[in-house]
Structure 1
């Protein structure tokens, strides 16, 4: 097979990629669109061309030998955008990871490096492919050299060969520089002959061959004006040809033999792709973990058939392997333990039967660093083993350092930290239907490797947390919270199955009634759940005005139907039908499926490392999302009951916590005063905005004030407010402007939060939780606007989330200190739900508000409301 050299015009391709793609950036705010586009081209070249030799040439600086000929060469070019300039260092780093040589030479352009190497390679019988966005390089085409010129975007190219040039221009390759000399090049500020364009240049060269022959034969040129222009610009034409001519004997210090390409360094490329958030390119890379880790170092470990006290130390790295997401019902694949005494794998059956292991797990003095403490605690608890003494959780540390990266695979986290001696879980166990547990030796090896990776990464994360002023957030909030959440998950909340089934029957009857009513209004029976049939009924038979169409017909989405609500009685019936249908399928039937057969409880899982604001969410099932605006939805809470007879459900929630946080962060005097006086904040806002007394505030004024109060927290726009209040954008803007005039501290906070995000690339909560906002400098208006709204909202919503987390930890401590039987069951946004014996309710009425209101000290008081009853529904 013959040798093939691929030469890439680095600056040209980077520019093409930068302007062809939107201004992408990663979570740290590093712009990446030029690197991304360049990499896509690079990957295509490697796949299609399969080069044996390769080089990327860059321009070394602004001044070249051509400037001695013409001082204005390349003059007038716009300054390189800083968003592109910052990407070149990463681009060079990427090329190094790909093991592709890169080269630049003072006083010469990338074209000259490429021309010199292309000529040498062709003489040595190489096949040469040049990649550029600049047609200047087409002058190098020969039977050995092809030039691919990118056109629109980064994937469309023309391949210039001598025959292609002949077909396109009717010229031979040598005439390309003559054509440039005549027509000039505005991008390089090569003047050429004024008034001579491509068509005229080609016509003249077909007749006269070269510029020199043409200039010697001007009298033979037809056209008086053209003759004059050529006569007046003889020297300029010759100079322009000289400027356009690529140097093929540049004094380069490398030879073709130095450019061998033997493949990329997978570890380094993957690391860079992950750092730059090139997730789609990671998939395209097609790199299997087997290939990435084929050079894994051998590790030594013992498989323990008997666990003894001598296997444990004061500091231990422990991994409890549970593959299933719902670890309440999952098997444990095995346990790995790494400490100063050795590396160990403990088979599941050995660990669960071992008194020594159970004793070690329960011993709080024997410290354990783990991956996903909550999962390990709950999984072992279901097997009858208590796990205490956890002082480090890798997944929580990773989440705090970068909340936008939420991988639950230890290998993904490890590779972002530059550690590769580990395979992903998918590589070991497979995925989906192909998932299977390999033999014990492979499982053991995998688990010990993961545990060693934790040991390797722990100190790095501790340093990052310290550098970010987040160590306290990690140690005092998120780590203790994981233990509280584990207890809540294992505890679960009891459900009255019979009551749920009864609700399902009631909903079925209501749905039948509404269906009959809809059919009567339509004048015929049809499938209400079929958008196609529903569209025909609404927009053809009933002749309602169609709001929008889809590829398959009329749109019958909720937003479309809501716009038609006043057009026909059938619309409200359809909307109600859909609401009740979702209640029945998602919540009634969904909840019945997840009641644990042994406990008659629902054991939801709280996502602690998911949201970028720090808020908790719940899953399997989502108990935070039970719709309570509909009475039928609120009624679902009737099925949630205490674990014991004669116990009660006790619910407590923060009153307007996000507005109180806003008052504190914004340091707005009026807001602070209103909360200190325990005034109705929405009435107070209406008074200030409308300049009226308390008695003059109407219900509509208060409604508008409430909308803007809560909207401001989320960075509301005039459009958003107009939609929520049903008013014009002009009126909404006037209202927002008045609000910000009335609360200048809030206005300053909003502006400052955006400034901070642009300056630092992130915003923080009161407890130093970060959210990175790379889109804050985007040229895309929608992306930038979203980032600005997020910059305003995150410190508020994130701080409110932090406050209730503090309250949860302190409530758990207080219940234990008071030796109470009450249990914390759920957290639903700003609400905590407990169960307790009736005799403890009076005590809860005192200590729950006390603990929640003193969770953090703000410039305004925190306020907690509570209620209780025999079910969760009655407690509200």
Structure 2
């Protein structure tokens, strides 16, 4: 069996190397579906596979797995003995990956007694003889020893870097060897901690490379050991047997008894039905589209050409089985509108609308949803409103956005329903609907139930969009907006042009599904003791956020324009200074040119780091380490800082001003952060700079309504430290806060064993870092990086901290135990954070979950406290008819706009309400400031 064809392109994938890589890529934010399955490894592996197939278009493909112990374990029983047990999430993932590969028609290979490296090495060498070009897809450096003119290492993209392909020259350059085969000697000499290959004691990477240059091989090194001196000579002569064993362990076997059946490795048409079924089970909605793109779906406008025998354009990459993809997808066992019994009616006449309203007023629970011309609620015009109060039934009232007079008449007809406080109103992302209706003078009154928020409390790490909830909770595939308005689409304005019948089906389906979701989620909220949190905090907060977003904040555009001019001048001045110090003009924004200047011309770095593309790395982390070497580095950092300030904030913020209101209206996301914290976007006003003097100037542009108003800023002082003191019940911490001491200074006195009045500024700073670091599980290494202390000094500081606060240390241990027992931790008010990796045998994964076990209840309780304060202040302002308005929530700070005559009374009301939002053993302290702008107030 021969295939002497240079066009044959074989990819051999090292399964576990790619699976582990995928899993750890999501380690800080794992993908967990509605069934609680961690799908990170499956998702990442499959995505990497499809990405490679689309870009590289292999003709042949196989995935190789490790199985059990190998011949190396017999040679050396400690081989890989230091490896952590495989994380549960990966053990769960592997069967799914096998199923996906089987459905795709991609062979899974392995051989008892051998590793994936050996199987891949053997097949690569056999393929080379058959005229194949082989790419070994892996992140493992050991494969470099196999590289030849027709065998390459293919390293997938990671951390923003592009793929790497190692050919012979690349291997020689990277490892400083004369031939890839010398990689075996290199690995044998220095050993490998990952595989627990001992190597030669005292020989590291640098020494191994030097020995390879001088002696070429391990055997030749041993033959000339007499040329060596001192301790190294002794080590080499005493450990020859260990060195040869290490070399043997590091050698990839290319004689595995496995046939190269290249015909079975061809990339064929997959079992589409099975692939889609697996992806649906895993809740990989977008992966289905990725799958179709990978296997080249025929474009509609090119099908006819193909049928006529005309070869399609290369860019289309057409496949013969697009129709099968569509047909098989339609055969999915997921319910759709077409195969589900339903009764959706159009109410488009005055009589029909009147009859509908009569029905609605008789209901206790009604779900509604608005259809609009835009996803921006401040710009959106009504296209229609749908209603549903019974599964499978619903109604749709269409509006004509261009007919303002008729729209207003319809608004007056539906107004009594929205103001009827006896009807519980259900919706998905109700804040959006409430803001849209407010534009027409409609206030949605009565009790509300938002399914998006309900699901967020039930599964804070999940996705909360209606489509994904319908699929995962109801096994239902909703009609997509793209199918109605075309892929150009996502232009929602086109929805008003969709025929009424199709509008009705799409719109009422949303209300119908949302009502069904409400009926699923409500008992789960009760079961998990989340109903009070939902009813008393999250739903009332939704109304508060609606008012805040509607109000917006005033922006001094002229001040920002002036600031922009000043920044231009400062940036030009910095450019001149940089050019002068560099002795040359160059593009400061070009990493390549900058790297050439500071490393080649100015020689500022020893062994400067390079990127994958071969140019010098010039990121902020690199420049900071060089700051002490030359004044130019500080200027470069300042230059970048000012450029970012100008482009991201000073020049961008004026574009965010609403043309109708003249104010900036951010959107607060209530269902994003798993801890319960709010997020801000479009624009993000929680990231307005505050740490630098120039950054603070941006806050100066956020101003009061007019000369008769002031900005009030109220900020919790050290709320997370106060909460952990209260939750841990550490008497020393509690006492310090009750006495009103400077807590960081107090901590410094305890850990450095000195009187309070002798604490230096630096010691207080170190204590502050530890105080906040403990909440986030800081390690000695992490503390060392933040403070500049040595690791041993940092460890001593952490040990001294726990000696000072022993009850806190016990509390941290208890929190981890609670997480192990329950699988989740809770805030003081019952908000949950699920920690599926708390039992992992992998120390990295487990420690991440353990840190969250401590941190999540603290952050979450802080979030709950400020939410309670927001609700109470909002209610008091309305109840007492104050004209003060709450505008922003930024972490632990609230920002208000108040008439001058209310400032004094309101400031006290805000402070009192915030400090009494939640009664805990430690007093909550709020600092209140007043000014004509945000900076003055803060």
| 1:646 alignment partner, one of 696, 704, 708 | 708
Partners of 1:459 and 1:156 in 2: CA distance: 56
| 2:575 alignment partner, one of 507, 515, 523 | 515
Residue 454 of structure 1 aligns with which residue? 514
| 1:304 alignment partner, one of 336, 341, 347 | 347
Partners of 2:821 and 2:439 in 1: CA distance: 48
Residue 629 of structure 1 aligns with which residue? 691
CA contact (8 A) 1:511 1:581 kept: yes
Partners of 1:716 and 1:372 in 2: CA distance: 37
| 2:443 alignment partner, one of 373, 386, 405 | 386
| 1:682 alignment partner, one of 744, 752, 767 | 744
| 1:423 alignment partner, one of 479, 488, 492 | 479
Residues 1:601 and 2:657 aligned together: no
Query: How much is the aligned-residue C-alpha RMSD, in angstroms?
Result: 3.9
CA contact (8 A) 1:41 1:155 kept: no
Q: Deviations over 1:696-718 (max 9, x none)?
A: 22222211111100111111111
Partners of 1:636 and 1:703 in 2: CA distance: 27
CA contact (8 A) 1:36 1:278 kept: no
Residue 282 of structure 2 aligns with which residue? 273
**Correspondences of 1:381-420 after superposition (within 5 Å):** 381-408=438-465, 410-420=466-476
Residues 1:837 and 2:899 aligned together: yes
Partners of 2:346 and 2:380 in 1: CA distance: 23
| 1:753 alignment partner, one of 803, 809, 815 | 815
Residue 537 of structure 2 aligns with which residue? 477
Q: Deviations over 1:444-502 (max 9, x none)?
A: 21111111111212121011111211111111111110110010000000112212211
Per mean C-alpha deviation after superposition, the further-off stretch among 356-365 and 665-674 is 356-365
Partners of 2:669 and 2:507 in 1: CA distance: 24
CA contact (8 A) 2:337 2:478 kept: no
Residues 1:346 and 2:360 aligned together: no
CA contact (8 A) 2:744 2:771 kept: yes
Displacement of 1:386 after TM fit? 2.3
Partners of 2:119 and 2:454 in 1: CA distance: 39
CA contact (8 A) 2:816 2:850 kept: yes
CA contact (8 A) 2:101 2:108 kept: no
| 1:536 alignment partner, one of 596, 599, 602 | 596
Residue 299 of structure 2 aligns with which residue? none
**Correspondences of 1:193-272 after superposition (within 5 Å):** 264=273, 269-272=278-281
TM-score when scaled to structure 2?
Answer: 0.67
Residue 732 of structure 1 aligns with which residue? 794
Q: How many residues align?
A: 688
CA contact (8 A) 1:758 1:776 kept: yes
Partners of 2:704 and 2:19 in 1: CA distance: 57
**3-state SS of 1:836 partner:** strand
CA contact (8 A) 1:31 1:83 kept: no
**3-state SS of 1:753 partner:** helix
Residue 565 of structure 1 aligns with which residue? 627
Residue 427 of structure 2 aligns with which residue? 370
Residues 1:618 and 2:680 aligned together: yes
**3-state SS of 1:625 partner:** coil
CA contact (8 A) 2:377 2:436 kept: yes
Compared CA separation, residues 811 and 772, structure 1 to 2 (3 A): same
Displacement of 1:736 after TM fit? 0.5
Compared CA separation, residues 462 and 577, structure 1 to 2 (3 A): same
Partners of 2:792 and 2:894 in 1: CA distance: 40
Displacement of 1:721 after TM fit? 0.8
Residue 182 of structure 2 aligns with which residue? none
CA contact (8 A) 2:42 2:96 kept: no
Q: Deviations over 1:348-373 (max 9, x none)?
A: 33665411113322333332101111
**3-state SS of 2:920 partner:** coil
Q: Deviations over 1:498-554 (max 9, x none)?
A: 122111112112111111211111122222111111111111221111641111411
| 2:384 alignment partner, one of 321, 327, 334 | 334
Compared CA separation, residues 849 and 511, structure 1 to 2 (3 A): same
**Correspondences of 1:133-212 after superposition (within 5 Å):** none
Displacement of 1:869 after TM fit? 1.1
**Correspondences of 1:799-818 after superposition (within 5 Å):** 799-818=861-880
Quick check: which has more Rg, 1 or 2?
1
TM-score when scaled to structure 1?
Answer: 0.71
Residue 933 of structure 2 aligns with which residue? 871
Per mean C-alpha deviation after superposition, the further-off stretch among 520-529 and 338-347 is 338-347
Which residues of structure 2 form unaligned runs of 5+? 1-13, 24-29, 52-56, 58-80, 130-269, 294-324, 401-405
**3-state SS of 2:343 partner:** coil
